Amino acid sequence: MIDPYLKIGRAKTHLDALEALLKGFTDDKAYTITFYDDLEQKGHIMECKLHDVPHDICLTVGDLFYNMRSCLDQLVWSLAKRVGGVLDPDRTQFPILAVDNEETRRAFKKQTEGVPSDALDEIRAFQPYRREESYKSHPLWRLNAMCNLDKHRRIPANGSEGIFKFPKITQGDIVGIQLHGKGMVVEIPLDLRMEALADRHRVSVPFAYKGKLQLDPSIPFKVNFGGDATGLTEDGQGIAEIYQFICETVLPRFLPFFP
């Protein structure tokens, strides 16, 4: 088990690095706030522009996913290579399957050649298809999907949310709220308008309410990985949960197979 544990240990190094990079980015570098008057629209504007997530963050998360996936693959190799097993295991990997059918059973057999039957039962117990329609919530399916994404391109990252606080706006200022296009309008007397654009959020009020447009300087901000056309989304907490699942649930189940 030394090789799988070395790999998961390396994954922890990347996880710690990722947490530090995310904290450094989201603390004070994730956005820029500017205020200006728009004479044409007769309003005072606040814009919060979201910065691009640094490449180092995307590359670090890719390395983290790779080491977690490699840990599982090396586990199966070690199971097949054990005393009395295959002399030189080839094409082994930890199967991660969304469905259970004839085709995936053939793949499972090929990927686990030489692994003892009791260990095969344990590997089957961790298959995402056991969650049926909810297989995409399984930590190993999520790991495998993000690893496959990282094989072909840099994992995209984006800001998932910004929570704006307006200390000078009271409940009495708000008559009602309505959706307007991609934004929101807080109706008169305040008439505060919020728009979510591609790379920024825009908030506007009439000149008469300029003094109301003040923000709490601390804006919670979170980075998501995946997204866009992939349909995959993981944040730092979700990635840590995958790591914890491998360390505390998967690997210990296979310790009895090694002296």
Q: Where are the domains of the chain?
A: 2-162+222-257, 164-218
pLDDT of residue 217: 47
Q: CB under 8 Å to 125, separation ≥6 — which residues?
A: 253
Residues 84-106 have pLDDT tens digits of 666 677 789 999 999 999 999 99
Q: What CA–CA distance (Å, rounded) separates 118 from 257?
A: 9
Strand segments (E) across the chain? 31-38, 43-50, 157-162, 177-180, 183-186, 192-196, 200-206, 221-227, 232-235
pLDDT of residue 199: 75
pLDDT of residue 153: 87
pLDDT of residue 1: 86
pLDDT of residue 240: 95
Q: Which of 68, 51, 111 is nearest to 86 (CA)?
A: 111
pLDDT of residue 89: 75
> Is 0.95 topped by the overall pTM?
no
pLDDT of residue 76: 95
Residues of the chain with pLDDT under 50: 217
